[in-house]
Amino acid sequence: MYCQSVAQTGADAAAIGAASALNGVSAAATMCGEAGQIAAANQVNLEECASVGSDAVVRVSVSTGVPLVSHVTADSRAGPEDCGG
């Protein structure tokens, strides 16, 4: 449970950083670099990073140290796109 929380927190932070880079003054190519730096600072591994419209979508993983479940993953999306509501 703790590792999943760490993964989700890292994913959310990385997605926000990537979205800020994508929608700010930085080029789209730098958004995954920003996401990677934030993921590393949160002690998670950036597995995937992409832009979907103006949003950033990331997937991270974290090692659990548990033999049968070696890692957990978490996904997050951030940006100005409407949720569709």
Would you state the pLDDT for residue 29? 66
Examine residue 83 and state whether it is found in any structural domain, yes or no: no
Q: Confirm whether 84 is domain-assigned.
A: no
pTM, 2 dp? 0.88
Supply angle C-alpha 25, 28, 32, rounded to 5.
110
Q: What is the pLDDT of residue 45?
A: 97
Which residue range is the domain that position 52 belongs to? 2-78
CB-based contacts of 8: which residues, under 8 Å, 6+ apart?
74, 76
Per-residue confidence band for 26, with pLDDT thresholds at 50, 70 and 90:
low
Name which residue leads in pLDDT, 51 or 1.
51
Higher pLDDT, 70 or 28: 70
- Total domain count, the chain: 1
Let me know if residue 34 belongs to a domain.
Answer: yes
pLDDT at 36: 95
Residue 47 counted as domain residue: yes
pLDDT at 28: 61
Q: For residue 18, is it within any domain? A: yes
Say if 43 falls within a structural domain: yes
